[in-house]
Amino acid sequence: MVFLKDILGDELYEQVAAKLEGTDIKLANIADGSFVDKATYDADIEKAKKEALASADTSELDGVKAENDNLKKEIDKLKFDSALELKLATSGAKNAKALKGLIDTSKLTMGESGLEGFDEQLEAIKADNDYLFAVAVPGGLSHGSPERKLNGVEKAFAEINPDVKID
């Protein structure tokens, strides 16, 4: 407001300053272009945002989104394939590849708890094709049988470490 002192003189300037003191009125010299009212400023900002969005090249963003979708599909396929291979490996089949040929993968889905629909198909395949699965043989030594014989490596280890028990 000091710029008014030269125009109004000291006495009139003091009177104007006294009247404006304590009010919300602000005086600015817009001749130098440093003052812009808030409404104009906000409108210019919104216009600039719209122009920036309109001129932005979205083809690159679309390409990244498409690549992201492809990668997600690939990850889902890898999860499915890994879960299927794990189920096949732990199914007790003599030949996992033969079992895989009998599984209808279109009826399998990946759920929160893993591969869904596999166990039902496995039970049906076991019922029809029991020859594909190994018969469980009880392991270990029966009572009264002789002690287990050590192989060459175990014998050598036992000779070097006589105080260590080999089970």
* 37 is a domain residue: yes
Picking from 28, 53, 51, the residue whose alpha carbon sits closest to that of residue 38 is 28
Classified as helix, coil or strand, 115 is strand
For residue 102, is pLDDT > 80? yes
**What total number of domains does the chain contain?**
2
Where does residue 30 rank: exposed (0-12), middle (13-18), buried (19+ CB within 10 A)? exposed
Structural domain span for residue 82: 77-132
* 145 is a domain residue: no
Same domain, 47 and 84: no
- pLDDT-derived band at 9 (thresholds 50, 70, 90) equals confident
Residues 6+ apart with CB under 8 A from 34: 28
Mean pLDDT over 15-38 rounds to: 78
Out of 27-31, 107-111, 133-137, 145-149, the most confident range is: 107-111
Same domain, 45 and 85: no
pLDDT digits (tens, 9 = 90+) for 79-101: 999 999 999 998 888 898 999 99
- Mean pLDDT over the full length of the chain: 84
Same domain, 48 and 82: no
Which pLDDT belongs to residue 86? 92
Do 93 and 125 form a contact (C-beta atoms < 8 A)? no
Length of the chain: 167
* 60 is a domain residue: no
Do 27 and 1 form a contact (C-beta atoms < 8 A)? yes
Within the chain, where are the H helices? 3-20, 38-55, 58-89, 96-102, 118-128, 152-160
Cα–Cα dist 85/66, whole Å = 29
Half-sphere exposure of 106 (CA within 13 A, CB side): 0
pLDDT digits (tens, 9 = 90+) for 37-53: 788 889 999 999 888 87
Where does residue 65 rank: exposed (0-12), middle (13-18), buried (19+ CB within 10 A)? exposed
* 14 is a domain residue: yes
pLDDT digits (tens, 9 = 90+) for 118-165: 999 999 999 998 888 887 666 665 566 666 777 888 888 888 888 877
* 152 is a domain residue: no
Which pLDDT belongs to residue 74? 96
Q: Which residues share a beta bridge with 109?
A: 116
Same domain, 51 and 85: no
